[in-house]
């Protein structure tokens, strides 16, 4: 199924925003700050710790505002070659209640 013009434009904008956010290194900065918090949580003052947390929250809100949640991405297939999904469920170590 061909993409509509609106879908093409949306994809172009999302790709450009991904590139911009990657250049700014927002996600990398969140990771670095999270590691700093984990390593130095006992040495940081409550104000410094709070400042890092707030900065990380703001960065992540910016990222999630412009990039879709990939868990909710819709998959579509061609009429002649539809998307096939297969999978199974297995239970391991289920204890009996008897």
The confidence band for 1, taking pLDDT boundaries of 50, 70 and 90, is low
Q: What is the pLDDT of residues 12-63, one digit of tens each?
A: 988 888 788 778 887 788 888 888 878 876 787 888 888 888 888 888 887 7
Confidence of residue 89 (pLDDT cuts 50, 70, 90): low
Q: Say if residue 84's pLDDT is above 70.
A: yes
Q: Residues of 15-42 as b/e, b for ≥16 C-beta within 10 angstroms?
A: eeeeeebeeeebeeebeebeeeeeeeee
Are 63 and 96 within 8 A, CB to CB?
A: no
User: What pLDDT sits at residue 19?
Assistant: 83
């Amino acid at each position: 199924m061909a993409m509509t013009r609106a879908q093409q434009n949306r994809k172009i904008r999302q790709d450009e925003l991904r590139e911009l956010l990657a250049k700014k290194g927002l996600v990398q900065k969140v990771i670095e700050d999270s590691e700093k918090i984990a390593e130095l949580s006992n040495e940081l003052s409550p104000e410094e710790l709070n400042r890092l947390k707030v900065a990380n929250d703001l960065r992540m809100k910016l990222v999630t505002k412009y990039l879709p949640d990939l868990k909710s991405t819709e998959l579509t297939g061609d009429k002649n070659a539809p998307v096939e999904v297969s999978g199974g469920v297995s239970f391991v170590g289920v204890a009996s209640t008897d």
